[in-house]
Amino acid sequence: MKIDQVSDSVYVVAGTNVNWALISDGSGVTVVDAGYPADTGAVLGSIREIGHEIADVAAILLTHAHLDHIGAIATLVEQTGAPVYTGAEEVRHAKREYLQQITPAEMVRQLGNRAGRRWVRQTALAVAGHLRTRVPSATATQDAVLAALPGGFVAVPTPGHTSGHTAYLMPSESVLFSGDALVTAHPLSRHAGAQLLPPFFNHDEDETLGSAQLLATQPARTIVPGHGPAASHDPDQPLRIFHQH
């Protein structure tokens, strides 16, 4: 785990090939995404590391319900009773009324090269025993509730990677939490910088590209992605987004 403070109240934590973020203000902590199941100890540790108690967690914002973003949620909810908010459509995904994720065949295909084999091994270890993890307490975001959380947020619906994927803008410090709708690196990508995840990760590629283009127009000076380092962004300059065709 590696913690980077990217603005007055925002900390980005790199876990197992995935990020979560902590937004700390006087009234408590908002957690954005929650790592793989195997990152649960690191998620709890990161909250203490920035000077808070686990009980300070006021809410968990979820960009989408893939296993590498929901790992510590059950433990956080159990220990704090904190509410979990995500996009209305993503609530159904979080409850596993359906599942949109990389197929087993696509996982096997990754074994064809060294970077892929390493990623598959790390992923298998990070989810072992927790493949059925879900978020039964997820509820749909409401504008007034999000605005009142530590940090203060605006939801930005960004379907494509999953049908209910939702990014979050924090206007007070111009930070955009883009989740997997716009990332800056991934172990399975050779490209560095703003990009879409490889197509086999995205439920609908056209929607994913449209959502990334929408995010590029947000008034954000810092982009905090689900994968890869946080990036500075000049909202007045066009953002070049790499994607595989």
Shortest Å distance, C-beta 56 to Zn ion: 27
Q: Are 178 and 223 in contact (CB under 8 A)?
A: yes
Shortest Å distance, C-beta 186 to Zn ion: 10
Q: Which is nearer to Zn ion, 47 or 65 (CB)?
A: 65
Judged by CB under 5 A, the residue of 33, 39, 90, 180 near Zn ion is: 180
Q: Are strands 84-86 and 57-61 parallel, antiparallel or unpaired?
A: parallel
Q: Are 10 and 173 in contact (CB under 8 A)?
A: yes
**Segment interacting with Zn ion, rule: CB under 5 A, options 135-143, 172-180, 184-192, 227-235:** 172-180
How many whole angstroms separate alpha carbon 171 and alpha carbon 10?
A: 12
User: Which residue(s) pair with 86 in the sheet?
Assistant: 140
Nearest residue to the partner Zn ion, using Cβ: 66
Shortest Å distance, C-beta 161 to Zn ion: 6
Of the candidates 205, 207, 206, 209, the one whose C-alpha atom is nearest the C-alpha of residue 195 is: 209
Shortest Å distance, C-beta 52 to Zn ion: 26
90 is a site residue for Zn ion (CB under 5 A):
no
Number of residues this chain uses to bind Zn ion (CB under 5 A): 2
Judged by CB under 5 A, the residue of 16, 62, 66, 207 near Zn ion is: 66
Show the tokens assigned to 25. Answer: 């203000």
Grouping H, G, I as helix, E, B as strand and the rest as coil, residue 147 is helix
The site string for Zn ion over 25-64 (x = CB under 5 A, - otherwise) reads: ----------------------------------------
Q: Which ranges constitute the DSSP H helices of the chain?
A: 40-49, 67-70, 73-80, 88-94, 104-109, 114-127, 143-148, 205-216
Q: Which is nearer to Zn ion, 66 or 186 (CB)?
A: 66
Query: In the complex, which residues of this chain contact Zn ion (CB under 5 A)?
Result: 66, 180
